[in-house]
Structure 1
Amino acid sequence: MIRGVTAGIDGSPGSGVVAEWAALESLLRGVPLCLVHVHEGPRPAAADAVDASAVRHPAEEFLADTARTVRRNHPSLRVSTRLLLGRAATALTGAAAGTGLLVLGSRGLSGTMGFLLGSVARETVSSTQTPVVLVRVTGQPAAPRQSAPDVPTRDVIVGLDIHHDCASLLDFGFAEAARRGDRLVALHGWSIWPVVRDAGALVAAQRDMGSDVARRLTRILAPWREKFPSVDVAELTPIGSAAHLLVHASDRADLVVVGRRVHPAAHGGRIGLVTHAVIQHSVVPVAVVAHH
Structure 2
Amino acid sequence: MTQSFLAVGECMVEMAQTEGGLYRRGFAGDTFNTAWYARRLLPGDWSVAYGSAIGTDAISDEMAAFFEAEGLDISALARIEGRSPGLYMISLDRGERSFSYWRSHSAARLLADDAERLQGMLEDRDVVHFSGITLAILAPEARIRLCNALREARARGARVCFDTNLRPRLWEGAEAMRQGILMGAAAADIVLPSFDEDSELFGDAAADDTITRYSGQGAQEVVVKDGAGALTIWTEEGGKTVLSPEPVEPVDTTAAGDSFAAGWLAARAMGEGPEEAGRRAMALAAKVIGAHGALVPQIFEGGEA
The two structures have a TM-score, normalised by structure 2, of 0.34
When Rg is computed on C-alpha atoms for both structures, the one with the higher figure is 1
Q: Which has the higher contact order (CA 8 A, sep 6+)?
A: 1
